[in-house]
Structure 1
Amino acid sequence: MDRDQLAEKVRPFIDLIDDMRSIGIDKELPLPTIAVVGDQSSGKSSVLETLSGVALPRGTGIVTRCPLLLQLCKDRTVKWEAVISYRDKVNEFDEPSEVVRYVEQAQNALAGKGVGICEDLITLKITSSTVCDLSLIDLPGITRVAVKGQPDDIGAQIKNLISKFIKNKRTIILVVVPCNVDIATTEALKMAQEVDPEGTRTLAILTKPDLIDRGAEKNVLEIVHNKVIFLNMGYVIVKCRGQKQIDENMSITCAIEEELEFFRNHEHFRSLLREEKATTKCLATKLSNALVNEIKVSPTTYLTVSCSSYTQCTLENMWSGTY
């Protein structure tokens, strides 16, 4: 199935869940979700930037201070447009470079201008001819030590926030782990294992493959091949923009092209392309399929929800094959 055929099948399911969440059904019924979890400096922001095609807030310390629902909608007729909403605020814009300003503005409004966090959700919907059809929630990076201006229990606050999302058994946990650290010691994977000990709903992304020590490639391959810590959904390895490339203003489009060339020419990792375990493009396809599969698991659950007749009709049409 090519990407356009996949998009036609995926979009109705994702739109339905996003619509149900927007009217508050997730407060009564756990909705399928992809939650992105990672330690600070794991490369989480870079992965999300590559998937969305736009720069997101960056910096030291806690950058993601509120849960961010990132809705990506592929539409060949739209060059690029976005809507950001939180509480009673809604802003529409059509300039990708404005994403950082609007997200920071939303976080400051919800969590204050300091370095604290807030559980209120920010929704950023991006419609473009170049994005994949996907919907996921970015969560604050896990930290262990409070910095100036943060409460002493900031680490516990972040873990509590993350736990509220990943303990939902309908949530796919997307764990971001750098290749150049011991995967078994990462807090993000530990948290995932606590709520998903069998690894049935956890998918891990290995980042920064260009930073591993020479000779360590075999260890990384064993992880990707599920021989170290088994995850039912497996592993995908990606290479996103590094700080040097960001400083040099490398575009995300160029970074995606460079990522493909990196794996094609890598002595040890090129085989992962054939196995569909490498590149952000592969990751996007896996995530879209995983989310739709989770939505389709128990359709009768959604049909019994007290929601609008439109939503119920949409669900009935979906699972009867109308879509």
Structure 2
Amino acid sequence: MSTFQSASSNASSDGTDGDHGVGLSNPSLSQTRRCMLDMVNRLHNTGVQIDIDLPQIAVIGNQSAGKSSLIESISGITLPRRIHCPTECRLSRSDAPWTCTVELRFITDKNGQPLGHARNEVFGDEISDKSQVEDRIRRAQRAILNPSKPARTFLDDNEDDTTEVSFSTNYISLQISGPELADLSFVDLPGLIASVSRGGNERDIKMVENLVSSYISKPSCVILLTVACETDFENQGAHHLTKKHDPEGKRTIGVLTKPDRIPRGDEESWLPLIRNEQEALENNWYCVKQPSSQDIKQGITWDEARARENDFFALTPPWSELDPLYQKYLRTINLVDRLSSILSDLISKRLPEIQLELENTVQNTREALAQLPKPPSSDPVSEVAGLLHTFVDELGELLEGIPVAGALLQTIRPAQERFRRAIRNTAPAFRPFEDLDEDTSEVEFCEPEFLANEDGDSDEDDDCDEDDDGEDFNAPIFIDQVLARAHAARTRELPGHVPFVVQKLYIAEFTNKWESPARVLCRFVHTTLALHIKALIAPHFSSFGQGGLEQRVVILIQDYMRSRANAAEALIMKLIALEKNGPLTLNDHYLSDYKAKFLSHYKKAREETQNPTLVEAINAYKSLHASITVPATPGIAQVMTGLAAIGLHGVNVDDLVTLLPPDRMEPALNIMADVRAYFQVAYKRIVDNVALAIDYELVRGLGRELLPTLYSGLGINGPEALRICSELAQESPSVAGKREELLKRLERLQTASRELVTVGM
């Protein structure tokens, strides 16, 4: 197919002077504005339109909507009738002879992923003969659609039109200059495929629609919508897609094509669009008439085409009968003038905003990069070693204790207190009275007051006949049961003596109960320690590589912690075995003191049930003696006075109970006091020792030899250290992909920023 023949235009087709150019090419506009178009074109060269909304005009329409003919009329060249990638036309008015340079703009790689910086490749030599443009564009399109092959191979070969992809976002850029052109830039997009029956498939239909949408959805894109008058307006999909992205018609310029093909008598149905009465657009609808294919074959010149277009609208009703107000919406030159003005105004408005958007987007991109994990190190062995040392140091602080609520030791302390209470609740529940009848078996018996202060419990916790948690851990052991057991154990002992084995049996009963709470404490500390360490591992290792280092550290520490827990439990069981082996203490003073206190407590409680009258009298005397200087009551007072008269001045009122006849339960009382006194000594010892064993073997023990364990387990101190650490340092595909995407975006943005700085913006 031949192109329009080059010719100078002396007059516009509507009768206006054509020597002054239109739009941006009009000398009445400042040179600065003309430079701004070049600047926007250079920004497009960088590929930054992927990130920033750049002003541009996008020509869209259904296939066979007259889009190519319109572009030919504006640019003076002939385009292939089927395009499968965007074609950018950069027109500039020049007094020099007409020329065209074809370039390929690669903004994505062969897999469709955005490039960091658009790759621009000049495709062939500069063209000075318009008849060569169509073939060059066809070859350029094949180069775009075969991304795996060198583009230059398509300049000379005559292979078939087989392509690797059906459509592409990479595009052809035509830089055309000549005396009859306007300063204008626009991009011609592939025609929308109406249906499968019209030569497409579902995939291609959707692909083209997505490609067109990616352009016209941007707020700074002026949509040049071409609508063929030979097809019903409502059936044109390009119009519906435009309404979707510009529902108010603020960015759309409508162009009616092929008005000469309207069936006779139906012309009036299209005039409401020109009058903006139907589907109103802010920049109105235009109507153009382009040469037919027969005219082009006969070699019609550009000037002849404009003249024929002017004659058509001037002589053909109802176009010729339109009010002069609407005549300016007819003819190609008026459309080009309006397009150039709109683009000029849009660029002038957007450039200051673009600079700010570039700065903000660069900052946001840098922040997004900073939030990503550090890129893989060139010295992975040192980096892994550094991570391990830092982790072990921080773990050491955790194990030693951090003065913060909720830290490891603070979390363990309540469990240690529960353990202490559990051990204390295994104390034998001796009752210094017989279990003979209902009256004595239900006598209230309280722990002695001296234990409350020693164990650090409040008075509210020291309930009678109950453990501290309100639950009876041990059944009461009555004094007659103790005595019966003592008698049953006698072998060769003299009368009045009982074997020590009785005390040992009672001691064994409570030491046998210590294993379970000790294991519970050890396992609780193990679980709590594991949770704190897990929380500590993540911030140190989660961002390194693909998570392999973190997983391996977790496994190694779990194994090492398990071995330390086993060591702690073994030591605990040994300590408890020592207690079970038999009673032993070198704290004779404490044992004797406790025995005396418990014996006195038991005897007093027993006398309260055996001789209540005497006990009540003694208590009454003590109460009166505390408030009256000289007791005036008879009874106990007289006894105390009489004892003083015979020289017994050191007698205490509580000693009067010793005047009673000997208690046959005296051996049992001694056994009870012995056992209960030894419990106090042993219970405090085991509570401390178990806590110390867990702390030494498990808590602090975890920090001992952990670093060598990690080094050895990871293998980073061996001959394969570099290989192992390099594998561990490999970045996850998602993070690597995100980093690559951000780096490419930053590259595009910085290149675009340099373009703005170059021209002094």
TM above 0.5: yes
Alignment partner of 1:227 out of 270, 277, 290: 277
Partner of 2:692: none
Which 10-residue stretch deviates more, 109-118 or 41-50? 109-118
Alignment partner of 1:162 out of 174, 187, 212: 212
2:69 pairs with 1:36: no
Alignment of 1:68-87 (within 5 A): 68-76=87-95, 78-86=96-104, 87=106
Measured at CA, do residues 133 and 272 of structure 1 come closer, stay the same or move farther in structure 2, by a change above 3 Å?
A: farther
Which 10-residue stretch deviates more, 266-275 or 296-305? 266-275
Partner of 1:98: 132
2:366 pairs with 1:314: no
- SS of the equivalent of 1:297 reads helix
Partner of 2:487: none
In the TM superposition, residue 194 of structure 1 has moved relative to its aligned partner by: 0.2
In the TM superposition, residue 27 of structure 1 has moved relative to its aligned partner by: 2.4
The answer on whether the counterparts of 2:23 and 2:340 sit within 8 Å (CA) in structure 1 is no
Partner of 2:334: 282
Q: Report the Cα distance in structure 2 between the residues aligned to 1:141 and 1:209, rounded to whole angstroms.
A: 19
Q: Report the Cα distance in structure 2 between the residues aligned to 1:288 and 1:210, rounded to whole angstroms.
A: 26
Percent identical across equivalent pairs? 28
Alignment partner of 2:346 out of 294, 307, 323: 294
Which 10-residue stretch deviates more, 217-226 or 142-151? 142-151
The answer on whether the counterparts of 2:74 and 2:332 sit within 8 Å (CA) in structure 1 is yes
Measured at CA, do residues 37 and 4 of structure 1 come closer, stay the same or move farther in structure 2, by a change above 3 Å?
A: closer
2:534 pairs with 1:89: no
Q: Which runs of 5+ in 2 are unaligned?
A: 1-16, 107-119, 147-160, 359-749
Q: Which runs of 5+ in 1 are unaligned?
A: 317-323
Partner of 1:319: none
In the TM superposition, residue 120 of structure 1 has moved relative to its aligned partner by: 0.5
2:305 pairs with 1:266: no
Measured at CA, do residues 20 and 310 of structure 1 come closer, stay the same or move farther in structure 2, by a change above 3 Å?
A: closer
- SS of the equivalent of 1:253 reads helix
Measured at CA, do residues 179 and 114 of structure 1 come closer, stay the same or move farther in structure 2, by a change above 3 Å?
A: same
In the TM superposition, residue 150 of structure 1 has moved relative to its aligned partner by: 6.1
Partner of 2:470: none
Q: What's the CA shift string for 1:128-157, capped at 9, x where partnerless?
A: 111111100000011134479965421111
Partner of 2:610: none
Q: Report the Cα distance in structure 2 between the residues aligned to 1:3 and 1:143, rounded to whole angstroms.
A: 36
Partner of 1:19: 42
Partner of 1:210: 260
| TM-score normalised by L of structure 2 | 0.39
| TM-score normalised by L of structure 1 | 0.89
- SS of the equivalent of 1:26 reads helix
Q: Report the Cα distance in structure 2 between the residues aligned to 1:290 and 1:96, rounded to whole angstroms.
A: 28
Q: Report the Cα distance in structure 1 between the residues aligned to 2:225 and 2:23, rounded to whole angstroms.
A: 28
Higher-Rg member (1/2)? 2
In the TM superposition, residue 267 of structure 1 has moved relative to its aligned partner by: 2.5
The answer on whether the counterparts of 1:11 and 1:73 sit within 8 Å (CA) in structure 2 is no
The answer on whether the counterparts of 1:49 and 1:252 sit within 8 Å (CA) in structure 2 is no
What letter corresponds to residue 36 of structure 2 in structure 1? F
The answer on whether the counterparts of 1:36 and 1:139 sit within 8 Å (CA) in structure 2 is yes
Q: Report the Cα distance in structure 2 between the residues aligned to 1:214 and 1:151, rounded to whole angstroms.
A: 35
Q: Report the Cα distance in structure 2 between the residues aligned to 1:179 and 1:5, rounded to whole angstroms.
A: 27
The answer on whether the counterparts of 2:22 and 2:340 sit within 8 Å (CA) in structure 1 is no
Partner of 1:47: 70
Q: Report the Cα distance in structure 2 between the residues aligned to 1:272 and 1:245, rounded to whole angstroms.
A: 30
The answer on whether the counterparts of 1:119 and 1:161 sit within 8 Å (CA) in structure 2 is yes
Alignment of 1:98-137 (within 5 A): 98-112=132-146, 113-114=161-162, 116-137=166-187
The answer on whether the counterparts of 1:71 and 1:135 sit within 8 Å (CA) in structure 2 is yes
Q: Report the Cα distance in structure 2 between the residues aligned to 1:272 and 1:246, rounded to whole angstroms.
A: 31
Partner of 1:237: 287
Measured at CA, do residues 250 and 12 of structure 1 come closer, stay the same or move farther in structure 2, by a change above 3 Å?
A: same
Q: Report the Cα distance in structure 1 between the residues aligned to 2:22 and 2:84, rounded to whole angstroms.
A: 34
- SS of the equivalent of 1:3 reads coil
The answer to which structure, 1 or 2, has the higher relative contact order (CA under 8 A, 6+ apart) is: 1
Measured at CA, do residues 81 and 291 of structure 1 come closer, stay the same or move farther in structure 2, by a change above 3 Å?
A: same
What letter corresponds to residue 195 of structure 1 in structure 2? H
2:306 pairs with 1:256: yes
Measured at CA, do residues 4 and 213 of structure 1 come closer, stay the same or move farther in structure 2, by a change above 3 Å?
A: closer
